[in-house]
């Protein structure tokens, strides 16, 4: 069974830092691109960042570029998001999500087929 479990959320002051983790199990983690998607309270979904299976390709939304860093450790089946210079508008539930792979080619289809339960990040003084 595919499982993604986020941790590391909490209350942090503006300008502070936080590191989120996502522990993966039930699939070959090193074969999949992974993503972070966030949802502000009562709002819609916002893609944050993506990382390819071997960490060769990394992408960020403009809203977090230069402040957030995505990384992964395939030996530990783990995904991370280092968040620096946090702002009130970063307050959200942060989900890690797996890329859907095409069965025949093995290529990413850029849709998110499994999601974790989310971890809440609150940025407030």
Nearer to other proteins, 16 or 106 (CB): 106
CB of 61 to other proteins, least distance (A): 7
Least gap, CB of 95 to other proteins (angstroms): 6
Integer Cα distance of 1 and 45 in angstroms: 25
- CB of 121 vs other proteins, minimal distance in Å: 16
Coil, strand, or helix at residue 29?
helix
The partner residues of 72 in beta bridges, in order of sequence, read 79
Q: What is the DSSP letter of 41?
A: T
To other proteins, the closest distance from the beta carbon of 67 in angstroms equals 17
- What does the binding site for other proteins look like in residue numbers (CB under 8 A)? 37, 44-47, 50, 59, 61, 95, 100, 109-113, 115-118
Q: Outline where DSSP puts E strands in 10-107.
A: 10-12, 18-25, 34-39, 45-51, 58-60, 68-73, 78-83, 92-101
């Amino acid at each position: 069974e595919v499982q993604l479990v986020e941790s590391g959320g909490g209350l942090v002051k503006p300008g502070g830092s936080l590191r989120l983790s996502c522990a993966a199990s039930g699939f070959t983690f090193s074969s999949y691109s992974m993503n972070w998607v966030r949802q502000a309270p009562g709002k819609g979904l916002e893609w944050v960042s993506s990382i390819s299976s071997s960490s060769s390709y990394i992408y960020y939304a403009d809203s977090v570029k230069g402040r957030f860093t995505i990384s992964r450790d395939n030996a530990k089946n783990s995904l991370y998001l280092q968040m620096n210079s946090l702002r009130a508008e970063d307050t959200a539930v942060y989900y890690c999500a797996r890329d859907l792979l095409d069965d025949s080619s093995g290529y990413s289809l850029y849709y998110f087929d499994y999601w974790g339960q989310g971890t809440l990040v609150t940025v407030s003084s």
